[in-house]
Amino acid sequence: MSIEIELYDYYRSSASYRVRIALELKNRPYQKIPINLKTGGHHELSYRTINPQGLVPSLIIGPKVLTQSMAILEYLEEVYPDPPLLPRNPFERAEVRSIAQIIACDIHPLNNLRVLNYLKQETTLDEQQVSDWYQHWVHEGFLAIEQRLVTSAGEYSYGSDITLADICLAPQVYNAKRFSCDLSPYPTLIRVAGNLSQLSAFTRSHPDSN
């Protein structure tokens, strides 16, 4: 089978990690093209012509380019519907999207690499204060997610099926651990993340495997 999908990604990027998980779950072969955010690969003109924001991921399918991980995930769900990553019931679909967006829209934008670099380089905050910033926003988001998962979670974030909520949760937990966040207040969230870590699609997508 020829590989028609190219993924420009950085192995530790939460957003790229999400897309890798979805591609694995959907069993879609793809070629990874690494963009090293640490060395400024995202600023190079050759990449800016693909993604004018200079962010990862970017998904290339034939002549078409998609950016923004949540848009990419929705596209993959529509084009490759098996296995489904959203429930069939409209209200339940909205609930799953709501959990996912706590991470993708509220936690991650405040804690991604370009924000942390700005805080370090353009403000008077020291390393500990930047770490405190990161941990604060993780706590704010995880506290809300924990309260949601107490009622919604089964084996995974929303019952017993893998959903977009799980695809967003696993990368955020990985990075929270990297930044030494105290995760003890979130037992349900950590239980779900532990279950996800046993799945082959999640292990193959893990930054340590890339």
pLDDT digits (tens, 9 = 90+) for 142-187: 999 999 999 999 999 999 999 999 999 999 999 999 999 999 999 9
Distance CA 148, CA 189 (A): 9
As separate numbers, helices (DSSP H) first and strands (DSSP E) second, the chain gives 10, 4
Share of the chain above pLDDT 90, in %: 97
Which residues of the chain form CATH 1.20.1050.10?
A: 90-205
Range from 1-10, 81-90, 143-152, 185-194 carrying the lowest mean pLDDT? 1-10
Q: What fold, for 90-205?
A: Glutathione S-transferase Yfyf (Class Pi); Chain A, domain 2 (1.20.1050)
Q: Per CATH, the architecture of 5-83 is what?
A: 3-Layer(aba) Sandwich (3.40)
Which residues of the chain form CATH 3.40.30.10?
A: 5-83
Nearest residue to 156 (alpha-carbon basis) of 187, 193, 185: 193
The pLDDT score that the predictor gives to residue 51 is 97
Distance CA 1, CA 39 (A): 34
Backbone angles phi, psi at 91, to 5 degrees: -65, -40
